[in-house]
């Protein structure tokens, strides 16, 4: 019985991720939900001018995947990249004013999206989900 629950949760997370990506992509203009999330992750980093390598490590993504998304965001004017003064091989990333204005103007829309998504989830379920997801993230980070 436990194994069936584990399989259901694993599959459910994958299905939910796909569904949330589709919903998010249809909600946002100019950005995909993955691009938006990458920007939010960068803004939550201690280093405010992180390198692509640091972003990849922080997000648990590959350097190549981050580099591809950064390139797309740079073309849209949401990010600026420049070579590091300390290490000429490293590429530093900076969020632009255009990006910050975009986030400000879409904040209400994002909050409405979350309100609608979680409207039938009570506080106890919300807390349980948050704890469970946090636990699974830690386990995935330590998985070898």
Question: What is the pTM for the complete model shown?
Answer: 0.88
pLDDT number for residue 127: 98
The three-class DSSP label of residue 95 is strand
pLDDT number for residue 84: 84
pLDDT number for residue 89: 87
What tens digit of pLDDT does each residue of 83-106 get?
988 888 899 999 999 999 999 999
Q: Which residue has the tokens 């938006």?
A: 36
Instruction: Provide the domain count of the chain.
Output: 1
The phi, psi pair for 123, rounded to 5°, reads: -60, -40
Beta carbons within 10 angstroms of residue 27's beta carbon: 15
Residue 134: give the domain boundaries. 2-142
Q: With 90 as the cut, is the pLDDT of residue 50 above it?
A: yes
34: domain CATH number is 1.10.10.10
């Amino acid at each position: 019985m436990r194994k069936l629950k584990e399989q259901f949760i694993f599959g459910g997370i994958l299905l939910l991720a796909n569904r949330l990506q589709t919903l998010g992509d249809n909600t946002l203009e100019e950005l995909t939900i993955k691009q938006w999330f990458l920007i939010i992750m960068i803004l939550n980093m201690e280093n405010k001018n992180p390198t692509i390598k640091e972003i990849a490590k922080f997000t648990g993504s590959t350097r190549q995947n981050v580099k591809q998304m950064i390139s797309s965001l740079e073309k849209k004017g949401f990010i600026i990249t420049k070579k590091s003064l300390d290490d000429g091989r490293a590429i530093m990333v900076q969020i632009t004013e255009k990006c910050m204005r975009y986030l400000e103007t879409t904040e209400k829309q994002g909050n409405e999206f979350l309100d609608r998504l979680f409207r039938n989830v009570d506080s106890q379920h919300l807390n349980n989900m948050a704890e469970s997801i946090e636990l699974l993230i830690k386990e995935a980070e330590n998985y070898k």
